[in-house]
Amino acid sequence: MTSRILRSSFIAAVVIAAMPLAADVPGRVHPVKPLALVTISGVVRDSVTGAPIAVAVVHSGSAFYDRNNGTKADGAYTLTVPSGRPVLITAEQFSYEPQTKTPIATAGMTLDFSLTPRATATVRLTNGVTHVLGLSSSSFAYAIPFSGYARFDNANFCKTDGSAFAPSKNDISKIIGPPTSVNFAPCCASGAVLSANVEMKSGEKMQVYFTDSCGDSEVDFIGRERSTGVYQYMNFKDIAEIDFQ
């Protein structure tokens, strides 16, 4: 009898020893220690000029700290991230190439960014005002009543021989205006059309007619100001020159 009791106790001890710890029993809630968070700060700058970049967004992973409130005119930002481990932090702005760094964040850390500028479209108006637009945000456009704007990355031109010409904004070097309103039936049989000179990046130069202006319709150039992020809507009649860089 005693031998049987001892054998049963031994088996029970082996079974208990083989069981996982109580904390690992399926269905049991495991308390998770929250990650400590710290706030870091810095300035986002232009890698060429060193000037601070406004309306840049700095974020960790896909968690934007505030997409509607990017850096102000001084390029400064603050961001709250987990501490004590590497974290991906990206700075980006629509007219610059994004930059990502992987620091181990600590409280009060300063992390600056230097972004490489993308192509721009510099628009000089007849009144002397100049707007530097992000080329990626820029487009040729015309207004559709009650619907907004029809926007295109390609110009809708007509050549002096009456043939259509639709170059990409990326292939144009300059549009030299201000355009003049003329009558030219091969490109517009229903009235006046705007005409200007174009220089292509290939070196080719030519006179063109704005097909969408046929009948004296308004044609525009739209783009987002690099320094402020504000969209500019400009009538081609008010544009002295656009320099695509």
pLDDT at 62: 56
CATH of domain 37-115: 2.60.40.1120
Joined tokens for residue 39: 């706030």
Amino acid identity of residue 197, one-letter, is N
Mean pLDDT computed over every residue of the chain: 87
pLDDT at 18 over 90: no
**Phi/psi class of residue 146: alpha, beta or left (left: φ > 0; alpha: ψ in -120 to 50)?**
left
Number of C-beta neighbours around residue 130 at 10 A? 11
- The predicted-structure confidence for 26-36, as pLDDT tens digits, reads as follows 566 656 666 78
- pTM of this prediction? 0.77
**Phi/psi class of residue 6: alpha, beta or left (left: φ > 0; alpha: ψ in -120 to 50)?**
alpha
Domain with CATH 2.60.40.1120 in the chain: 37-115
pLDDT at 35: 73
- The predicted-structure confidence for 111-138, as pLDDT tens digits, reads as follows 999 999 999 999 999 999 999 999 999 9
- The predicted-structure confidence for 161-191, as pLDDT tens digits, reads as follows 999 999 999 999 999 999 999 999 999 999 9
Report how far residue 43's alpha carbon sits from residue 232's, in angstroms, rounded to the nearest whole number. Answer: 26
